Amino acid sequence: MKKDELESLGIEITGYGHYYPEKVVTNEEISSRLKYPEMHPAEKAVIGDIGVTKRFRANEKETSIFMASESAKRALSDSKVSPGEIDLFLFCNWTDRYYLPDLAPQASDLTGTTNALAFDVSTACAGFIAGVQTACMYILSGRFKKVVVACSERFSLRTKMGGYGEFTAGDGSAAVVIENTGNKKSGIIDFYLKDEGKLHDTMVISEKGIIKSFPHLVTNAADLTIKGINTILSRNNLKPEEIDWLIPHPGTDVVVQDVLRRSPIPKEKILMNFDHVGNTSSASIPTVLSEFKDKFKKGDLILSPAVGGGFYWGGLLFIF
């Protein structure tokens, strides 16, 4: 199938917004508190050459709830949709997980979307794909028209301060407004999300709440990112050259470099912000969409693959 023959679900992303914390942390600042003179081989296998020059750190006021609300307000403004029109508010997050209460109702209340049903979605770094997929399924039910998907993470909470993982972890939020417009020439074409339970041990959280990644994470993350790209292409009978932009979840520098090397879509079409925000988990893809939305043209075909601990992998295909 050729690109101009594609039809969407009639569901469009109509607004984008992002929020980065006030504090910027440089590599020099992190280096000053490192406990190791050299990176441990296990850390080197996961982190690689870092690939990040700076990242944002949330302060006490900048909770994931606060950041989600700020990015959601900006997405609503961008879409020219009022908060009262939103039927569903999805909050994608894993770094602040509690048993109770859910974070989504609090973020929705702060945003002013008080008519919306709000609940949390947690598939780690694949959260944006899961959020968009969930939004589409609710809209396709016919009972929901307009949805906010807000991805907000404080990765620094799950990272050992004074360790090399601190170089990669970033805090931030981004949100999109998704609407049932009926326009088949623009919007969401396909989404795919799969779990691999046997890979549950690629990342674990210690009793102290700190993430620990194992070297086999890298191979699986890169392999499944490429598989996510190829799966979406195959499902839609597309050739790599028909994709205008590839916006992947980055993971770490090792994963980024492997994906850049093996991607069927050329490097000049791959867009990330990993170098200046780090890994913001579920927020990584939507922050790129919001931050660089002026680079996209109406009609651009965008493919976004992602992997997340658990283990989840898949992708999203849509026309800007």
Domain boundaries, the chain: 1-320
Q: Flag the least confident range among 12-21, 35-44, 280-289.
A: 35-44
The residue-averaged pLDDT of 219-228 equals: 96
Task: Name the residue type at position 43.
Answer: E
How many angstroms separate the CA atoms of 193 and 221, rounded?
A: 14
Task: Name the residue type at position 66.
Answer: F
Cβ of 63: how many Cβ atoms within 10 Å? 18
- So what's the pLDDT on residue 36? 58
Residues facing 279 on adjacent strands = 169
Please give the C-alpha separations between residue 245 and each of 55, 210, 240, in angstroms, as whole numbers: 24, 34, 10
Task: Name the residue type at position 24.
Answer: V
Report the DSSP pairing between strands 117-121 and 88-92: parallel
Please give the C-alpha separations between residue 242 and each of 156, 190, 208, 302, 306, in angstroms, as whole numbers: 37, 15, 46, 10, 20
- So what's the pLDDT on residue 226? 98
Q: Flag the least confident range among 27-31, 77-81, 296-300.
A: 27-31
Q: Flag the least confident range among 157-166, 170-179, 220-229, 298-307.
A: 157-166
- So what's the pLDDT on residue 243? 98
Please give the C-alpha separations between residue 317 and each of 14, 232, 242, 248, in angstroms, as whole numbers: 15, 7, 12, 11
What is the pLDDT of the chain when averaged over all its residues? 94
Is the pLDDT at 41 greater than 80? The verdict is no
pLDDT bucket at 20, cuts 50 / 70 / 90? very high
The residue-averaged pLDDT of 142-156 equals: 97
- So what's the pLDDT on residue 39? 67
How many angstroms separate the CA atoms of 285 and 72, rounded?
A: 15
Is the pLDDT at 180 greater than 90? The verdict is yes
Q: Flag the least confident range among 26-30, 102-106, 232-236, 304-308.
A: 26-30
Planar angle of CA 136, 170, 29, nearest 5 degrees: 170
Tell the CATH superfamily of the 1-320 domain.
Thiolase/Chalcone synthase (3.40.47.10)
Is the pLDDT at 174 greater than 90? The verdict is yes
The residue-averaged pLDDT of 7-35 equals: 93
- So what's the pLDDT on residue 160? 86
How many angstroms separate the CA atoms of 207 and 114, rounded?
A: 36
> Percentage of residues in the chain with pLDDT exceeding 90?
82
- So what's the pLDDT on residue 6? 92
